[in-house]
């Protein structure tokens, strides 16, 4: 599978990564190599093999809905790059452009 | 200054010959003396450690200094995962392992260097510094837990914790000549471990001996309701089987093990270890692991896929580095672009691609199907043996910079360690010789939740090995 710079650019957008051309140029051939190596998996017939998403069977874990202490508000905001009145502050979501 | 095991330190404190404060001072002095060049620590918690030691902590690890890989969060102590995006992150809570070690009386002396977000096999992808190999300044310590392995190998701490997603405890243990154990998936709580690939990540110890690893495992393992994937198995004494020897134990060696790129001198060292175990009464049986050759390809689709999802949380909003931006989307894209290094970006892109529409079946689903076959290979193999042994790595520690520009070549260094993560089984690396002055690791794998047999074989082998052990170039004298 040949990965082009355009593909890298598209996937970077999906992953919310700004990616300068210099990085796309490095990544495209490296990703081609890695995915070409991954083609090995096509050699094996796995038609009826059930996929494994976890080493052991996982079941949903529930607890009783009991109120108990959690991280205090002020502590949770300690690492926020910008906050105001007990809230995390961010640039306007709807104004100022963006392609969302 | 001299190097002591966890067991020796505990014995000395219990006899009243020394105190926690003495050992913390010894450790901090060693860091001061050696780490300017070794660069195994990102943060040294000297004041915290000294204060804690003065309170004469008691418990099964009472007074023993240790280090944590910097992807385990520590309340009030900077935790970066060696990434710019978390350069100034000071967590508001402790990982479960830190709480457990603290309540066992251990004393944290610092946080160790690593590959950024544990993505790498050389610790070179750290955004902050390159750690050297204590046995050869020009060589990498391995990765991703390279700082923890180097710190123990150099004698700066008697033990350290690392995390292992595809070999990140066992490979640096092999490269640095220390004991490293990746427990069974779910054995040690991952609460407070910054997630890389959640179905593969597992925390474990670096120590000088198997017995020390058993002592540390007693302190850190166990079910944790805050990690919903942690295993609901009872606690056990990991030291219980240490002295049972290997007589009658069935040691599996792999028929048709992939030997492409395997240094013949490593093969010879491993064969020597197998003969030693055989001489002590172990029975050697041949087993097959027919899908091993697909493990690296499987891993490098599954791990990046999970990483691309896990690392979505680093967006510059609630914590971590935030870039100047005029819109929300721009803020996400610029914060992540400036905050992540190239290896992290590479894996996010691979993972996002493998999960994206049109490629999911061809890549991610196929990798998960192969994971089933690899897991079944091990289940079948363990029907006829108690442990499987093989080299931990195909080469000794490579040179700094040697593989930095060739990601695929770097990934292939993990070919012997990756399958244990895919299968969820425990595995250790134990020093079994030196080649050109650099350590060689013997990997020992066992059935799920059978760490005790790994520790038993390792402890037995420690009494048998008779190769000459050079002093590290960088480290506290033995």
Q: Strands A87-88 and B179-182: what pairing?
A: unpaired
Is A98 near chain B, with CB under 8 Å? Answer: yes
For A25-69, how does the pLDDT look when each residue is reduced to its tens digit (9 = 90+)? 999 999 999 999 999 999 999 999 999 998 888 888 888 999 999
Q: What is the pLDDT of residue B410?
A: 87
What residues of chain A, 67 to 96, have a C-beta less than 8 Å from chain B?
71, 75-76, 78-82, 88, 90-93, 95-96
Average pLDDT estimate for B260-274: 96
Q: How many CB pairs under 8 A join A and B?
A: 179
Q: What residues of B are in contact with residue A16 (Cβ under 8 Å)?
A: 312, 315, 329, 332-333, 336
The mean per-residue pLDDT over the stretch B165-181 comes to: 98
- Say yes or no: A30 contacts chain B, CB-CB below 8 A: yes
- pLDDT of B40 above 50: yes
Say what percent of chain B tops pLDDT 90: 94
Q: Does B340 touch chain A (CB under 8 A)?
A: yes
DSSP characters over B21-72:
HHHHHHHHHHHHHHHHHH--EEEE-HHHHHHHHHT---STTTT-EEEEETTB
Top pLDDT among B379 and B409 is at B379
Task: Summarize the confidence of residues B121-134 as an average pLDDT.
Answer: 98
DSSP state of B183: P
Coil, helix or strand at residue B450: coil
- Cα–Cα distance measured from residue B112 to residue B66, given in angstroms and rounded to the nearest whole number: 10
d(CA B213, CA B221): 11
Beta bridge partners of residue B441, listed in sequence order = B431
**Percentages (nearest 5) of helix, strand, coil residues in chain B:** 40, 15, 45
Q: Which residues of B are less than 8 Å from A7 in CB distance?
A: 353
Provide the token pair at B110: 């610092």
B28, B107 contact by CB (below 8 A) = no
> Given CA atoms B159, B163, B166, B172 in this order, what sign does their dihedral have?
negative
Mean pLDDT across chain B: 96
Q: Confirm or reject contact between B368 and chain A (CB < 8 A).
A: yes
Instruction: Report pTM.
Output: 0.97
> Contact B418/B296 with Cβ under 8 angstroms?
yes
Distance, CA of B474 to CA of B472 (rounded, Å) = 5
Residue B32's pLDDT band, with cuts at 50, 70 and 90, is very high
Enumerate residues 6+ apart whose C-beta is below 8 A from B266: B391, B393, B394, B395, B396, B435, B440
Report residue A95's pLDDT band, with 50, 70 and 90 as the boundaries. low
Q: Is B198 in the active site?
A: no
* pLDDT for B260: 87
Tokens matching residue B302: 């599954």
pLDDT tens column, B349-386:
999 999 998 888 889 999 999 999 999 999 999 999 99
DSSP B91-140: -SS--HHHHHHHHTT-EEEEEE--SGGG--SSSTT-SS--PPBTTBTTB-
- Would you tell me how many other CB atoms lie within 10 Å of the CB of residue B229? 18
Of B317, B326, B329, the CB nearest to A88: B317
- The answer to whether residue B283 scores a pLDDT higher than 50 is yes
Q: Tell me, yes or no, if B411 comes closer than 8 A to chain A by beta carbon.
A: yes
What digits encode the pLDDT tens for the residues B310-328?
A: 999 999 999 999 999 989 9
Identify which of B358, B355, B379 has the alpha carbon closest to the alpha carbon of residue B367. B355
Q: How many CA atoms lie within 13 A of B419 on its CB side?
A: 31
**Gap between the Cα atoms of B318 and B321, Å rounded:** 9
Distance CA A52, CA B426 (A): 18
The answer to whether residue B2 scores a pLDDT higher than 80 is: no
Question: At residue B276, does pLDDT exceed 60?
Answer: yes
Residue B405 has which token pair?
């520009």
In sequence order, the 6+-apart residues with CB closer than 8 A to the CB of B121 are B115, B142, B143, B144, B167, B168, B171, B403, B410, B411, B413, B414
B384 in active site: no
CB contact, 8 Å: B350 with chain A? yes
State the average pLDDT over residues B175-204: 98
- Whether residues B317 and A15 touch (CB distance < 8 A) is answered with no
Tell if the CB–CB gap between A51 and B363 is shorter than 8 Å: no
Query: Residue A90 and residue B370: Cβ atoms within 8 Å?
Result: no
The predicted-structure confidence for B334-357, as pLDDT tens digits, reads as follows: 999 999 999 999 999 999 999 998
The answer to whether the CB atoms of A98 and B328 lie below 8 A apart is yes
ipTM above 0.90, yes or no: yes
Closest to A18 (Cβ–Cβ): which among B333, B375, B408?
Answer: B333
Q: What is the pLDDT of residues B45-87, one digit of tens each?
A: 999 999 999 999 999 999 999 999 999 999 999 999 999 999 9
Confidence (pLDDT) at A100: 44
Check whether A97 has a pLDDT greater than 70. Answer: no
The whole-angstrom separation of Cα B435 and Cα B415 is: 20
**Partner B contacted by A7 (CB < 8 A):** yes
Q: What is the DSSP pairing of strand B107-112 with strand B41-44? A: antiparallel
Among the partner-chain residues B93, B229, B298, the one whose CB lies closest to the CB of A71 is B93
Q: A57 in contact with B at a CB cutoff of 8 Å?
A: no
For A31, which of B349, B411, B424 is closest by C-beta distance? B349
Does residue B145 have an active-site annotation? no
Cis amide linkage into residue B36, ω under 30° from 0: no
- Assign B1 a pLDDT band (cuts: 50, 70, 90): very low
Inter-chain touch B370–A82, beta carbons under 8 Å? no
**Active-site residue among B40, B145, B168, B230?**
B168
**Do the bridges between strand B65-69 and strand B159-164 make them parallel or antiparallel, or are there none, so unpaired?**
parallel
């Amino acid at each position: 599978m040949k990965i082009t710079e355009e593909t890298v650019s598209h996937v970077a957008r999906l992953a919310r990564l700004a990616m300068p051309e210099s990085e796309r140029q490095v990544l495209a051939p490296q990703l081609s190599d890695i995915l070409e190596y991954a083609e090995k998996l096509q050699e094996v017939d796995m038609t009826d093999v059930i996929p494994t998403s976890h080493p052991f069977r996982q079941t949903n874990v529930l607890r009783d809905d009991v109120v108990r202490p959690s991280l205090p508000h002020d502590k949770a905001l300690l690492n926020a790059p910008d906050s105001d009145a007990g809230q995390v502050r961010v640039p306007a979501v709807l104004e100022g452009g963006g392609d969302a | 200054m001299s190097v002591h095991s966890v067991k020796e330190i505990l014995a000395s404190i219990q006899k009243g010959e020394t105190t926690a404060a003495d050992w913390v001072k010894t450790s901090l002095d060693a860091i001061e003396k050696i780490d300017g060049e070794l660069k195994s620590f990102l943060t040294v918690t000297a004041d915290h450690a000294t204060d804690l030691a003065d309170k004469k902590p008691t418990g099964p690890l009472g007074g023993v200094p240790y280090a944590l890989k910097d992807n385990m969060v520590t309340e009030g102590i900077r935790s970066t995962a060696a990434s710019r995006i978390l350069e100034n992150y000071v967590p508001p809570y402790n990982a479960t392992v830190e709480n457990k070690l603290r309540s066992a009386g251990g004393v944290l002396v610092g946080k160790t260097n690593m590959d950024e977000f544990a993505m790498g096999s050389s610790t070179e992808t750290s955004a902050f510094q390159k750690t050297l190999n204590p046995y050869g300044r020009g060589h990498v310590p391995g990765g991703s837990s390279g700082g923890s392995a180097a710190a123990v190998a150099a004698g700066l701490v008697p033990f350290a914790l690392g995390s292992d997603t595809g070999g990140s405890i066992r490979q640096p243990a092999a490269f640095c000549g220390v004991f490293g154990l990746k427990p069974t998936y779910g054995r040690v709580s991952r609460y407070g471990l910054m997630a890389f690939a959640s179905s593969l990540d597992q925390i474990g110890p670096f120590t000088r001996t198997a017995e020390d690893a058993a002592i540390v495992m007693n302190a850190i393992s166990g079910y944790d309701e805050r990690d919903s994937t942690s295993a609901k198995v009872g606690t056990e004494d990991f030291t219980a089987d240490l002295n049972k020897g290997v007589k009658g134990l069935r040691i599996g060696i792999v028929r048709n093990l992939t030997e492409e790129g395997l240094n013949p001198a490593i093969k010879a060292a491993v064969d020597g270890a197998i003969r030693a175990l055989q001489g002590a009464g172990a029975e050697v049986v041949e087993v097959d692991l027919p899908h091993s050759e697909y493990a690296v390809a499987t891993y490098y689709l599954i791990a990046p896929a999970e990483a691309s999802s896990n690392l979505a949380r680093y967006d510059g909003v609630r914590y971590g580095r935030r870039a100047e931006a005029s819109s929300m989307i721009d803020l996400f894209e610029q914060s992540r672009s400036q905050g992540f290094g190239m290896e992290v970006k590479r894996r996010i892109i691979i993972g996002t691609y493998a999960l994206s529409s049109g490629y999911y079946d061809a890549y991610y689903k196929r990798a998960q199907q192969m994971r089933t076959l690899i897991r079944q290979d091990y289940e079948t193999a363990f029907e006829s043996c108690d442990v499987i042994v093989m080299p931990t790595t195909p080469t000794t520690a490579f040179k700094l910079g040697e593989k930095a520009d060739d990601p695929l070549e770097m990934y292939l260094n993990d070919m012997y360690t990756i399958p244990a993560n895919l299968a969820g089984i425990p595995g250790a690396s134990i020093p079994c010789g030196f080649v050109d002055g650099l350590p060689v690791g013997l990997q020992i794998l066992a059935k799920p939740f059978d760490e005790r047999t790994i520790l038993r074989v390792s402890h037995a082998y420690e009494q048998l090995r008779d190769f000459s052990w050079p002093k590290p170039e960088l480290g506290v004298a033995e």
